[in-house]
Amino acid sequence: MIELLLELLNVTVIPYIAGIPIRLYPMWKTRDVKSRTILIIYCCYMLSMCAGFLAVKTFWTVDFRSIQLYKAFMGLPSTIIPFWIFRDRVWQNVFLTAVSMMLAPLYVGIGMYAGVNWFADAAYPLLGANIVSLAIIAVMLPPLLFILRRLHENFDARQTGIWRFIWILPLSFFGLFMLTGNFLDPGAFKGNTFFIIRALLYGALLLTCYLLETAMRQVSENVTLKENARMTERQLDLQREQYERLMGNVESAKAMRHDIRHQLAVLKGFGAAGDLDGLNRYIDELTGSLPVLERLYCKNYAVNAVINHHLSAAGSEDIRLDIKLDIPEKTGRVPGMDLCVVMGNFLENAAEACRRMEHGEKFIRARSLIQGDYLTLTVENSFDGLWNERDGAYLSRKREGAGSEGVGLPSVTTVCAKYDGRAVFAVNGNVWRSSAVMAMENGSGAEE
């Protein structure tokens, strides 16, 4: 009875005790199925594995080769289930499948090696083999899961197409495993080469995943830096444009002051002659020649330039504006450039959302609030009610980023975190609300 239970553990539990977490944990946040459903499915799967094994042992005479084939056959559902749980991540699933395929022969194989070579004279050699397998899993699984989780987080942040290729790496390791010993031959567990090669291949796989994670983290950080640099350059361009407009307005004002006496003399002449039609036409001409001054939305010059840039065409696009901002010129440790990143992204997204609307009233409403050391910026806008969300992250609808999280909102989140604050995005019917909270002085912490 004990021997049967040990064999049941070796066949139905140990091969999957690491494989299932590897398939689920790295992408857990992006699952398309409820946790309760996943738990029920895997419980039923493991029970069916155990029942099938007991039936095979009861009604048929089996050997080592048939047991190994049974494990391979019953492992097919475990391979397919994650593709249903994470339906939009086919290549990520292929990659994790290759990793789990490579890993299972390692700890099961080393356990069998220990049973054959170290516990051959024990009462229950399979007990020693199972203990060794579980010990190896306890040691090697946590760092691998940590690296795989970070790897998926960095890749998903930018939705790169590298998943289509990197699955070849762990699959190659699995192929090397198969070349170093026949898993259907129990004699393969007797040589020291079997143990050494598997240990080296596991180290190589762990190192490969670590290097991939490090490389992708650098790529993600570089993309963020490029986005910030792009925003910085755009804000500088906006300020240059506003300076040029201001200088033009100043020159126009100087010319008007110089000519004001002549204009008054002409107006006086029309009045003396009683030519009201001529007077009205002349006044219309003067009014049309006056320079158009930018609106003053707030006292912060940089933020005001960004607002004018993004909302200058709103009137011609029938977008109702309701802007009431109290942003001072000096905002403590939060520089104007970072405020421009936040407000620029908010208003750019709001304007694009309004332009997509085919029906209904278009509006953009912006408010600010200073409470103690905290500055809160909020922008609400109408939109067509269509949006996509994955694990709390709103996905871009732009052509180049459709189906993935854009770089704008993560940039806002990064800026807020830099100043002990946070960004919050919410949808209420056909109204999108973006809020950013930042501490203008050191020593403050954003409330949860």
CATH of the domain at 381: 3.30.565.10
Which is higher by pLDDT, 362 or 230? 362
**Reported pTM:** 0.51
How many whole angstroms separate alpha carbon 351 and alpha carbon 356? 9
Tell me the residue type at 99: V
> Kind and range of the H or E element at 425?
strand 422-428
With 70 as the cut, is the pLDDT of residue 272 above it? yes
Tell me the residue type at 200: L
User: Are both 184 and 255 inside the same structural domain?
Assistant: no
User: Are both 135 and 180 inside the same structural domain?
Assistant: yes
Tell me the residue type at 223: V
Burial per residue of 330-364, b for 16 or more beta-carbon CB atoms within 10 angstroms, e otherwise: ebeebebbbbbbbbbbbbebbbebbeebeeeebbb
54 SS3 class: helix
pLDDT band at 399 (very low <50, low <70, confident <90, very high): very low
User: Are both 272 and 190 inside the same structural domain?
Assistant: no
User: Which of residues 181, 202, 228 is at a domain's end?
Assistant: 228
User: Which of residues 177, 201, 228 is at a domain's end?
Assistant: 228
403: left (phi over 0), alpha (psi -120 to 50) or beta: left
Identify which of 333, 365, 324 has the alpha carbon closest to the alpha carbon of residue 438. Answer: 333
Domain assignment present for 359: yes
Give the Cβ contact number of residue 130 at 10 Å: 22
Tell me the residue type at 264: L
User: Are both 261 and 320 inside the same structural domain?
Assistant: no
Domain assignment present for 327: yes
pLDDT in the model for residue 380: 95
With 60 as the cut, is the pLDDT of residue 276 above it? yes
pLDDT in the model for residue 433: 93
Structure tokens at 163: 């998943």
User: Are both 283 and 310 inside the same structural domain?
Assistant: no
pLDDT in the model for residue 308: 85
What residues form DSSP beta bridges with 425? 434
CA 428 to chain centre: 22
DSSP secondary-structure letter at 157? Answer: H
How many whole angstroms separate alpha carbon 101 and alpha carbon 94? 10
pLDDT in the model for residue 243: 56
pLDDT in tens, 32-48: 888 899 999 988 888 88
Q: Which of 237-246, 300-309, 437-446 has the lowest mean pLDDT?
A: 237-246
Domain assignment present for 296: no
CA 60 to chain centre: 51
Domain assignment present for 77: yes
Cβ pair 403, 395 in contact under 8 A: yes
CA 51 to chain centre: 41
User: Are both 305 and 272 inside the same structural domain?
Assistant: no
Domain assignment present for 234: no
Q: What is the mean pLDDT of residues 206-232?
A: 76
User: Are both 315 and 345 inside the same structural domain?
Assistant: yes
Which is higher by pLDDT, 24 or 70? 24
pLDDT in the model for residue 202: 76
pLDDT band at 64 (very low <50, low <70, confident <90, very high): low
Question: HEC string of 360-429?
Answer: CCEEEEEEEEEECCEEEEEEEEECCCCCCEECCEECCCCHHHCCCCCCHHHHHHHHHHHCCCEEEEEEEC
Identify which of 342, 408, 390 has the alpha carbon closest to the alpha carbon of residue 152. Answer: 390
User: Are both 40 and 179 inside the same structural domain?
Assistant: yes
Residue numbers of the domain that contains 138: 2-228
Domain assignment present for 446: no
Domain assignment present for 137: yes
Number of domains comprising the chain: 3
Domain assignment present for 261: yes
User: Are both 64 and 142 inside the same structural domain?
Assistant: yes
User: Are both 329 and 213 inside the same structural domain?
Assistant: no
Structure tokens at 394: 């709103």
Cβ pair 336, 223 in contact under 8 A: no
User: Are both 283 and 317 inside the same structural domain?
Assistant: no
User: Are both 30 and 170 inside the same structural domain?
Assistant: yes
